[in-house]
Structure 1
């Protein structure tokens, strides 16, 4: 997905405008439709933030830690499909934000970081200037899609356009523009730079004809096809649904693809439900997904399986080695497949069969208590179009398969990075993008304290996220692993504050719930209060009740029987 440049009648591509480099950065943001920037200013970025202050169309949300800036941009982008933008100082600021940028890369989420550098006369000299990094450009390039250090102020417009192109075209991801301290204040004549034609919608011609023919043959000859989706298919929900109906195939998602087909539709399968059909699947159509379920989480790929992979990144075919690799935008390629399947005779409906399978799996999931009961309470109160942000915690893992999601981009995830503590600050970015929506963040006590200072940000800017903290006084998942392997924990026990009192001290609403029914009541109160809210839920760790038997079903007895 791309963000088109905004044309302005008072400007012309051929008419240069005299600006500082800092003003040119802000003009670039305006040209690309940016309405929110998450950031923390520092001496190297004073000129940039002063220019932002003079731009009425862009809201600046100041965080309390650079890592939160990147996470907020992640949440904004993942929930909208538009680039999330943030600004931090160079050196330690960039490194603090690096976890968020790495997560943007992992989840194929478009973000743009605006940072700075030490003065150009000191760059590369190792003098020990404030915030100096030996080679910031090389460092950030290792965990971003694209990065540039701009030493000529006249090149800032082009760099900004390139940053948004890189973030949004092909496989989306993070980009970085660094303008050194002394360059930001320099003035130059700068023409407005139009978006590159390659970034325009419809530029993708789709898959090659011969490969498309082979894919159609595989799908039409299959008796038990399956469609697997990831975040790369989020904007192709209509096409995915039409393919599922045409093929009478379940649509399975792990994290990023949740909600592309609603979970209350018989065709919409969680990963736990999808595993129940895996042994019988003879054709897999994977769209915009890394197929983590296939090569890591599900045992014993069926011998007769024919795989068709759709991805905008051709390198993904080299990694996954499908029988047929179709390169292109998922919406374009799925439309091609639909056109090619137009003459396929209507297949008998399998909705009743799928609904029965899903009901049986959910009955098994319901025995995972109290996880499933607490998630059911959240689902009862969270509006259908509300947003849910998972976290690296027992309850977060269970949400992969035990919480129904009804729309794409409404299940916010850190993907395979699994970075503890990302959830709460990311949820603030979701709320900033959707001010009137209900946003629920679930977290463990350990993960919440990674970014608890952002409660101050939530209160200051009216980001009314509802955070449910499941407190087991430990880094629970790690402790559970240690107990199974070694018989005891190590460095995992936590002494926590009173989360309710702490929330109130920040000016947020603090509540406590000890049962699923009490959680329903607390959530309902939080929704009506329209304030940042923390709900503490004591939840002792149980080694017997673990979500991992559904996430890694190779450990389940039935998997061994297949």
Structure 2
């Protein structure tokens, strides 16, 4: 058996599991790990200007591919700085691996105030991830790495973290060469429950299918189910694009709301059903709910009339098979649904200027391009009216809705897909959370186009203070730099567009430049139409 250090075992485990890129910032605790990566030609190391950037880039890489996104940071403040990204990966179901360190092994738990010491570093990691563990000796490293990959990709994908004490990274032992991990088997499909579910579905006259990120690999099966039932398919954030929005049976959120009052069966596939339960907040009389999810705890958090714990692809395929003898040739409802979609699109045109800017971006962005949103007036609107044509092409922060997510994440998406167009949208407030990563984009040639909608405010906060708190504005107005000049100071191309037509020209040029680009779009403060009435529509009379 070869003799390897812990750092080398970790590195070879990454290679064995198909990892080709690691984001991060080197630091004293991690030197032996980073040096092992430096000696491995199959690993590309992209160093960032902030730990949060490293975590978000790993997240973007993971969400855009389904493969493991890896980042490494020093323990304590380094890990904590990446905490927002870990929270996002947890909330949005992404296989992200954080590799970090700890103080010297013999000092852990003594509270002597060592460099980067936390009272309970491992406990802190466990509180933010699906699974976390410490490598105490190189003989443990291979097995712990195997468990990490297995945990990430088994069941509901979520982030994991591994730490090793400072002195352990350089410690060596004779160990087996690391091999690729295998995922745990998916839950076995319960044939009796499938039969019950098929009976329930066949009895429904107006079913609706709601998909989330758990259905990311089940688009064909979901569409087959929808066609069999002539049922609309909708999604909120993480499910966008799993069934292409140009399919006749696909409905974006507001069109689906218009169908909702007549719905008698909600079929949730890999979805928390946030749209129906937390956004619309009104259930049609007599509605039945069928859920299919690989995570059994979902059946407890929101108890359905019938729950199927299964992999989405296999589970939906089993439902389609079971329905063949129960559902005849149903008449097409495409004309009805086209009318609902047209009415919804017309209503959403009132959300200006966001809706028109989004139409321009969709027009210019290639069909196979990636769109990364962020919590902002344009980002909120995009969830309702930005068409997406394939899984993973719409990258969102899920329920965390955290500022600073968009631009940083888009860099990871572009590293994963260097030959595809990647466009990020941010507000002025959110963009400045991670503006330093323009240096990373410039240094490594990560050619993302970032569109910054500048309304000189935390727009949502400002509107709420005006409408709910008597116009008592506090902490919501912003004084910003010249974003074009700021981009240029990083050696990045900067542009400005003041109208949708100007944005169309600028974005076309930016994508053709094949370089990092920032496009500033000034928006008069307070002029954005609120998208929230479409998120929380009033119950039908």
Normalised-by-shorter TM-score class: over 0.9
Cα distance in structure 2, aligned partners of 1:560 and 1:330: 32
Question: 2:228 aligned to 246, 251, 254, which one?
Answer: 246
CA contact (8 A) 1:204 1:332 kept: no
CA contact (8 A) 1:111 1:174 kept: yes
Deviations 1:394-429 (CA, angstroms, capped at 9, x unpaired): 000000012111111111011111111111100000
Equivalent residue, structure 1, for 2:316: 334
- In the TM superposition, residue 543 of structure 1 has moved relative to its aligned partner by 6.3
2:416 matches 1:433: yes
Cα distance in structure 1, aligned partners of 2:130 and 2:105: 24
**Aligned pairs (5 A) from 1:100-499:** 100-195=85-180, 199=183, 203-204=185-186, 206-343=188-325, 344-486=327-469, 487-499=471-483
Cα distance in structure 1, aligned partners of 2:265 and 2:385: 26
Deviations 1:28-71 (CA, angstroms, capped at 9, x unpaired): 10010001100100000011111111111111110000011110
CA contact (8 A) 2:186 2:294 kept: no
Equivalent residue, structure 2, for 1:10: none
- In the TM superposition, residue 352 of structure 1 has moved relative to its aligned partner by 1.2
1:424 to 1:196, Cα distance in 2 relative to 1, 3 A: closer
2:511 matches 1:532: no
The 3-state SS of whatever aligns with 2:97 is strand
2:25 matches 1:43: no
Cα distance in structure 2, aligned partners of 1:225 and 1:231: 20
2:9 matches 1:27: no
Alpha carbon RMSD of aligned pairs, Å? 1.2
- In the TM superposition, residue 266 of structure 1 has moved relative to its aligned partner by 2.0
Unaligned runs of 5+ in 2: none
Equivalent residue, structure 1, for 2:493: 509
Cα distance in structure 1, aligned partners of 2:217 and 2:540: 37
Cα distance in structure 2, aligned partners of 1:54 and 1:210: 54
- In the TM superposition, residue 542 of structure 1 has moved relative to its aligned partner by 3.5
2:529 matches 1:545: yes
Query: How many pairs are equivalent?
Result: 539
Cα distance in structure 2, aligned partners of 1:306 and 1:324: 9
The 3-state SS of whatever aligns with 2:498 is coil
Cα distance in structure 1, aligned partners of 2:393 and 2:412: 13
Cα distance in structure 2, aligned partners of 1:44 and 1:134: 17
Cα distance in structure 2, aligned partners of 1:137 and 1:184: 16
Equivalent residue, structure 1, for 2:3: 18
Cα distance in structure 2, aligned partners of 1:360 and 1:425: 36
CA contact (8 A) 1:480 1:543 kept: no
CA contact (8 A) 1:165 1:195 kept: no
Unaligned runs of 5+ in 1: 1-15
- In the TM superposition, residue 207 of structure 1 has moved relative to its aligned partner by 2.7
The 3-state SS of whatever aligns with 2:129 is coil
The 3-state SS of whatever aligns with 1:553 is coil
- After alignment, is 218-227 or 208-217 more displaced? 208-217
CA contact (8 A) 1:212 1:326 kept: yes
CA contact (8 A) 1:501 1:510 kept: yes
Cα distance in structure 2, aligned partners of 1:126 and 1:532: 45
Deviations 1:139-161 (CA, angstroms, capped at 9, x unpaired): 11011000001111111011111
Deviations 1:198-239 (CA, angstroms, capped at 9, x unpaired): x16xx3354312211111111111110000000110111110
Cα distance in structure 2, aligned partners of 1:421 and 1:265: 33
Cα distance in structure 1, aligned partners of 2:97 and 2:454: 34
Cα distance in structure 2, aligned partners of 1:352 and 1:73: 43
Cα distance in structure 2, aligned partners of 1:441 and 1:205: 37
The 3-state SS of whatever aligns with 1:113 is strand
The 3-state SS of whatever aligns with 1:133 is coil
- After alignment, is 77-86 or 540-549 more displaced? 540-549
Cα distance in structure 1, aligned partners of 2:472 and 2:96: 41
Deviations 1:230-281 (CA, angstroms, capped at 9, x unpaired): 0110111110110111111111100000011111222111111111111110
The 3-state SS of whatever aligns with 1:116 is strand
Cα distance in structure 2, aligned partners of 1:179 and 1:17: 21
Cα distance in structure 2, aligned partners of 1:505 and 1:544: 29
- In the TM superposition, residue 463 of structure 1 has moved relative to its aligned partner by 0.7
CA contact (8 A) 2:351 2:528 kept: no
The 3-state SS of whatever aligns with 1:536 is strand
Cα distance in structure 2, aligned partners of 1:540 and 1:264: 33
CA contact (8 A) 1:226 1:251 kept: yes
CA contact (8 A) 1:262 1:405 kept: yes
The 3-state SS of whatever aligns with 1:73 is helix
